[in-house]
Structure 1
Protein backbone atom coordinates (compact mmCIF):
# COMPACT_ATOMS: atom_id res chain seq x y z
CA UNK A 1 0.00 0.00 0.00
CA UNK A 2 1.28 3.46 -0.89
CA UNK A 3 1.40 6.46 1.44
CA UNK A 4 -0.16 9.83 0.62
CA UNK A 5 0.12 13.00 2.67
CA UNK A 6 -2.89 15.32 2.63
CA UNK A 7 -3.57 18.61 4.41
CA UNK A 8 -7.09 18.88 5.82
CA UNK A 9 -8.98 21.60 7.69
CA UNK A 10 -8.85 21.21 11.47
CA UNK A 11 -12.60 20.59 11.66
CA UNK A 12 -12.36 17.61 9.29
CA UNK A 13 -9.41 16.19 11.21
CA UNK A 14 -11.37 16.53 14.45
CA UNK A 15 -14.32 14.63 12.89
CA UNK A 16 -12.01 11.86 11.70
CA UNK A 17 -10.30 11.59 15.08
CA UNK A 18 -13.64 11.48 16.93
CA UNK A 19 -15.01 8.80 14.60
CA UNK A 20 -11.76 6.86 14.93
CA UNK A 21 -12.04 6.82 18.72
CA UNK A 22 -15.77 6.06 18.68
CA UNK A 23 -15.45 3.13 16.26
CA UNK A 24 -12.08 1.98 17.61
CA UNK A 25 -10.47 2.14 14.16
CA UNK A 26 -7.31 3.83 12.99
CA UNK A 27 -7.64 7.28 11.41
CA UNK A 28 -6.29 5.77 8.19
CA UNK A 29 -9.10 3.21 8.13
CA UNK A 30 -11.70 5.94 8.63
CA UNK A 31 -10.21 8.04 5.82
CA UNK A 32 -10.01 5.00 3.52
CA UNK A 33 -13.68 4.21 4.17
CA UNK A 34 -14.69 7.79 3.44
CA UNK A 35 -12.68 7.90 0.22
CA UNK A 36 -13.94 4.58 -1.10
CA UNK A 37 -17.54 5.09 0.02
CA UNK A 38 -17.45 1.92 2.12
CA UNK A 39 -19.22 3.79 4.91
CA UNK A 40 -22.31 4.14 2.72
CA UNK A 41 -22.84 0.40 2.75
CA UNK A 42 -23.09 0.48 6.55
CA UNK A 43 -26.26 0.88 8.58
CA UNK A 44 -26.03 4.64 9.02
CA UNK A 45 -24.22 7.68 7.72
CA UNK A 46 -23.25 9.66 10.81
CA UNK A 47 -22.78 12.98 9.05
CA UNK A 48 -26.29 12.96 7.55
CA UNK A 49 -28.03 11.81 10.70
CA UNK A 50 -26.11 14.25 12.86
CA UNK A 51 -27.05 17.07 10.50
CA UNK A 52 -30.79 16.56 11.05
CA UNK A 53 -30.82 15.08 14.56
CA UNK A 54 -31.92 18.33 16.19
CA UNK A 55 -35.07 18.61 14.03
CA UNK A 56 -36.20 14.98 14.05
CA UNK A 57 -39.56 14.83 15.80
CA UNK A 58 -39.84 18.60 16.08
CA UNK A 59 -43.21 18.90 14.31
CA UNK A 60 -46.20 18.40 16.62
CA UNK A 61 -49.69 17.06 15.88
CA UNK A 62 -48.87 14.92 12.86
CA UNK A 63 -50.10 11.33 12.56
CA UNK A 64 -47.63 8.61 13.53
CA UNK A 65 -48.15 6.76 10.25
CA UNK A 66 -47.72 9.82 8.02
CA UNK A 67 -45.01 8.22 5.89
CA UNK A 68 -47.25 5.23 5.13
CA UNK A 69 -50.44 7.22 4.50
CA UNK A 70 -49.23 10.51 3.06
CA UNK A 71 -51.82 10.80 0.28
CA UNK A 72 -54.73 10.05 2.61
CA UNK A 73 -53.50 12.62 5.15
CA UNK A 74 -53.00 15.33 2.52
CA UNK A 75 -56.43 14.65 1.03
CA UNK A 76 -58.04 14.97 4.47
CA UNK A 77 -56.47 18.42 4.88
CA UNK A 78 -57.73 19.63 1.50
CA UNK A 79 -54.24 19.88 0.04
CA UNK A 80 -54.37 19.99 -3.77
CA UNK A 81 -58.07 20.88 -3.99
CA UNK A 82 -59.00 23.65 -6.39
CA UNK A 83 -59.83 26.82 -4.53
CA UNK A 84 -62.19 29.55 -5.52
CA UNK A 85 -60.70 32.96 -6.13
Structure 2
Protein backbone atom coordinates (compact mmCIF):
# COMPACT_ATOMS: atom_id res chain seq x y z
CA UNK A 1 0.00 0.00 0.00
CA UNK A 2 1.34 3.45 -0.90
CA UNK A 3 2.04 6.00 1.80
CA UNK A 4 -0.66 8.56 2.39
CA UNK A 5 -0.31 12.26 3.10
CA UNK A 6 0.14 13.28 6.75
CA UNK A 7 -3.17 13.47 8.55
CA UNK A 8 -4.76 10.67 6.56
CA UNK A 9 -4.99 6.99 7.41
CA UNK A 10 -4.35 5.09 10.58
CA UNK A 11 -1.58 5.67 13.11
CA UNK A 12 0.73 2.98 11.71
CA UNK A 13 0.46 4.44 8.20
CA UNK A 14 1.51 7.82 9.57
CA UNK A 15 4.42 6.30 11.52
CA UNK A 16 5.65 4.63 8.33
CA UNK A 17 5.24 7.88 6.37
CA UNK A 18 7.40 9.80 8.86
CA UNK A 19 10.01 7.06 9.50
CA UNK A 20 10.52 5.39 6.11
CA UNK A 21 8.32 7.15 3.55
CA UNK A 22 8.15 10.56 1.92
CA UNK A 23 8.06 12.29 5.31
CA UNK A 24 11.29 10.57 6.33
CA UNK A 25 12.98 11.91 3.20
CA UNK A 26 11.98 15.43 4.25
CA UNK A 27 13.32 14.93 7.78
CA UNK A 28 16.52 13.13 6.69
CA UNK A 29 16.85 10.95 9.78
CA UNK A 30 20.41 10.41 10.94
CA UNK A 31 21.68 13.78 9.73
CA UNK A 32 22.36 16.79 11.95
CA UNK A 33 19.15 18.65 12.80
CA UNK A 34 16.82 15.73 12.09
CA UNK A 35 14.89 16.09 15.35
CA UNK A 36 14.39 19.84 14.86
CA UNK A 37 13.22 19.31 11.25
CA UNK A 38 10.74 16.73 12.51
CA UNK A 39 9.34 19.08 15.15
CA UNK A 40 9.00 21.94 12.64
CA UNK A 41 7.15 19.74 10.15
CA UNK A 42 4.84 18.05 12.65
CA UNK A 43 4.03 21.04 14.85
CA UNK A 44 1.30 22.14 12.43
CA UNK A 45 -0.39 18.73 12.67
CA UNK A 46 -0.02 18.29 16.43
CA UNK A 47 0.59 21.62 18.18
CA UNK A 48 2.31 21.24 21.53
CA UNK A 49 2.86 17.50 21.06
CA UNK A 50 5.31 17.33 18.16
CA UNK A 51 8.46 17.09 20.31
CA UNK A 52 7.24 14.00 22.14
CA UNK A 53 6.07 12.33 18.95
CA UNK A 54 9.32 13.18 17.13
CA UNK A 55 11.26 11.68 20.04
CA UNK A 56 9.43 8.40 19.43
CA UNK A 57 9.79 8.64 15.64
CA UNK A 58 13.53 9.26 16.01
CA UNK A 59 13.86 6.12 18.10
CA UNK A 60 11.81 4.12 15.62
CA UNK A 61 13.78 5.39 12.62
CA UNK A 62 17.29 5.11 14.09
CA UNK A 63 17.01 2.85 17.11
CA UNK A 64 18.22 5.57 19.49
CA UNK A 65 16.60 8.56 21.14
CA UNK A 66 17.57 12.09 20.08
CA UNK A 67 19.48 12.84 23.30
CA UNK A 68 21.63 9.74 22.84
CA UNK A 69 22.17 10.61 19.19
CA UNK A 70 23.25 14.15 20.07
CA UNK A 71 25.66 12.82 22.70
CA UNK A 72 27.20 10.46 20.13
CA UNK A 73 27.60 13.31 17.65
CA UNK A 74 29.49 15.29 20.31
CA UNK A 75 31.82 12.34 20.81
CA UNK A 76 30.38 11.25 24.15
Q: TM-score, normalised by structure 1?
A: 0.27
Q: TM-score, normalised by structure 2?
A: 0.29
**Which structure has the greater CA radius of gyration?**
1
